[in-house]
Structure 1
């Protein structure tokens, strides 16, 4: 007879837990009866009671803190009304900002060791606030809402499709006010954007609900593909407030972007990354006077502008799959005089690129949350002559991408985090690596 293994199912159980360290994804680890419990709302060292809300029946389950019996000194009162009501927006708004950055640094270091097989110095990677801007509220210049049957804009309940209408503190109050005043009706996705000229833009489109999430986690690639499909089904944005283009400025450079084009969400992040990229380019070993530079996943050319600030004779190719972002390159940069925008997927660009310009001296990449991937990084490891600057918005995918280069003999020169999403577990990272061929 075949042995029958009964699955654990603790759904609905209240557990008393001693919380351990932070985990990738924002939850904190605890253990009960030999199983890992990913604990939402806890902090390292606390004794809590938590109710299990998701149990796949394997070696782990997920629970949400309902009562704190022994409080961490890092705990503060949750200052986001939406998060206090259970929304998934500001999931770390119960943690003091300095402590949250330390936890983020530990996650970056842990992912670097476990996934990238990289040994960063110390038990955490340093995490800095963007351009010294340590605001915990009102930092977002672009944000999205959804409207339920009552037409009131809100954000999603954590791990749910339900809408919480209590306000989230991330968005600049000018955006929040304009979105609430727009009255776009029920069943809409709403986009609010604040330009660097002070103009507020509001657009909306049909809301396409995501598929019901199963108990098994989807891969990032599958999730990203389905998100793009949902966006396509939703159709074009209908502008209801503000001009049709958004003004963005960093230093001496200015862009005019479509409302839905990508830009750094934090009001100070773009300037912060530009400063980091300038420094990394200026210190690149053996860089020639007219370097060949690829700006991959380059958007409207923010980092290309930084390159040209310190290497004005550089030959820069900006590769971006979004037509709206790629089309805006010429609003800030002099296309044709050393700057070439290419609207294509990075994988497609690499497949058809050869010759002298197919072996760049320096590459900057800012991929989406799933990262560039092993194939792209392996290709770049064999091509790039001097330095790669990788801006990653997910610790796990950044660690994987950087690990490919380190395995290929590249030297990790710098690894740091940027707290570009205050009050959340999301942390971005910047890695600088030098080629074994650099000299």
Structure 2
């Protein structure tokens, strides 16, 4: 047992451990001599040998499974060559897809209870595949690589900036073939995009080295800020294949997007999320004929289009800080009546506490799809006090989603729906979808 003042470092040790449950971040928990060990490559119930490769000297360390002594029935042969070689891409490709969804649901539920203080009826929440698309490979229509000194494109090794050049199974084969054919040279970041019209687009720019993941980083927001600064230093994209705009179709809407504009990576995710949002809006208690709707972190207006499908008379304000994404709203929505695109950070749009500013009326419904760091406590508190009927939160990080939703629950809001979408097959990543109703609804 480790004493309070004892300095300890297990780096390089191989420990035989019994694996417990899944943890936020995709690793599985095990314990040894009073310390928690987060192990990559394990599954609940297994007896494994784990090599400790990251020990910060605290009450926990991290390691990678090197040998499975007693295998779980949920284990399958890893089907991603890149992950098998150590890349950080398909970290759950050794787990049966059905079991992986169950583990994701447990993580969502655990984070909701522990961080959000949200009472749930069971130990897990349901996790569905997007639009019934249960493919586990070649589902990605947007992908990035980095080329090494030899010009060969690769992906990052787990917890490292080193490259692995074995192929990852996520990207559509057409993208991979186009990227390999482009031969962009060494030291480049490569972006490949497959449009919904079948056209493949490839662009590249200078690669800015990324330091290995720092487990002591102050916050996800800080990491996102550093990422934006790194991308700014990289400069503009140079297009080498395809046209300058990417075609996207969802329902009866068509977008013409710049190649680097944000879009859901999974081929079926955008349509699935749009359907979920439309259903949530249509089912809002007491919804009038001309509801005021805020689409925050609205991107190119995917959810705004879904709102108009569900409530044609809605007055929708799209708030987005990216000029690239917001500029594409018109390609799908045109001059649709009642649509007001606003280029601003959500925090600036909302103003300070009690500051109504030039806000377009208190909303009946708010939809938000924030980045991985979530909207944050301040934003959620302001929305809780202003929104009349319903808030729909789409979140790609279980911990951030739990914190954001927990703010609403603490303010008396009721969880009408909480479930996950397995939009990143073979990985621990899961999209959370939460619908909450106001205590003031009529």
- Bin the TM-score by the shorter chain: over 0.9
CA distance in 2, matches of 1:438, 1:282: 15
Classify the secondary structure of the residue corresponding to 2:264. coil
Pick from 350, 365, 368: which aligns with 2:368?
365
What residue number does 1:325 align with?
325
Q: Which residue number corresponds to residue 177 of structure 1? A: 177
Q: Is 2:441 aligned against 1:438? A: yes
In structure 1, how many angstroms separate the alpha carbons of the residues matched to 2:33 and 2:207? 42
Give the whole-Å Cα distance in 1 for the aligned partners of 2:160 and 2:224: 18
In 2 relative to 1, CA 356–221 (structure 1 residues): closer, same or farther, beyond 3 Å?
A: closer
What stretches of structure 1 of length at least 5 have no aligned partner? none
Following the alignment from structure 2 to structure 1, what is the Cα–Cα distance between the partners of residues 4 and 285? Answer: 61
User: Aligned-pair distance for 1:119?
Assistant: 1.4
Q: Is the 8 A contact 1:56 1:216 kept in 2?
A: no
CA distance in 2, matches of 1:384, 1:4: 48
Superposed CA deviations along residues 179-238 of structure 1, whole A, max 9, x for unmatched, are 011000000100000000000000001000123544623411111110010011001111
Q: Deviations over 1:348-382 (max 9, x none)?
A: 11117547723111000000000000010000000
Q: Which residue of 1 aligns with 2:6?
A: 6
Partner of 2:140 in structure 1? Answer: 140
For residues 45-84 of structure 1, the aligned pairs below 5 Å read: 45-84=45-84
Residue 420 of structure 1, aligned match among 403, 420, 423: 423
Indicate if the aligned counterparts of 1:322 and 1:343 stay in contact, CA closer than 8 A. Answer: yes
Checking the alignment, whether the CA contact within 8 Å between 2:159 and 2:212 is kept in structure 1 is no
1:272-287 mapped onto 2 (5 Å cutoff): 272-287=272-287
Q: Gaps (5+ residues) in structure 2? A: none
Residue among 390, 396, 400 paired with 1:393: 396
Please list the CA deviations of residues 33-80 of structure 1 after superposition, one character each: whole Å capped at 9, or x if unmatched: 010000000000000001000000000000100000000000000000
Distance 1:215 1:303 in 2: 33
| Secondary structure in 2 matching 1:189 | strand
SS at match of 1:56: coil
Other structure's SS at 1:98 match: helix
Q: Which residue of 2 aligns with 1:256?
A: 256
Scaled by the length of structure 2, the TM-score of the pair is 0.97
Which residues of 2 match residues 371-410 of structure 1 at below 5 A? 371-410=374-413
1:335 shift after superposition = 3.2
- Matched position secondary structure for 1:110: helix
TM-aligned CA distance change 1:322 to 1:355, over 3 Å: closer
Quote the Cα distance in structure 1 between the aligned partners of 2:86 and 2:215. 20
Q: CA deviation at 1:249?
A: 0.2
Tell me which residue corresponds to 2:160.
160
Q: How far apart are 1:310 and its partner, in Å?
A: 1.3
Normalising by structure 1, we get a TM-score of: 0.98
Contact 1:335 1:341 in 2 (8 A): no
Deviation at 1:4, TM superposition (A): 9.3
Contact 2:350 2:359 in 1 (8 A): no
The residue matched to 2:386 in structure 1 has which SS? Answer: coil
Asked whether the 8 Å contact 2:217–2:223 carries over to 1, the reply is no
Structure 1 contact 358–383 (Cα < 8 Å) conserved: no
Q: Classify 1:283/1:239 alpha carbon distance in 2 versus 1 (closer, same or farther; 3 Å).
A: same
Give the aligned partner of residue 189 of structure 1.
Answer: 189
Q: Which segment drifts farther, 322-331 or 347-356?
A: 347-356
Q: Alignment RMSD, CA only? A: 1.3
Compared CA separation, residues 54 and 286, structure 1 to 2 (3 A)? same
User: Distance between the aligned counterparts of 1:345 and 1:168, measured in 2?
Assistant: 34
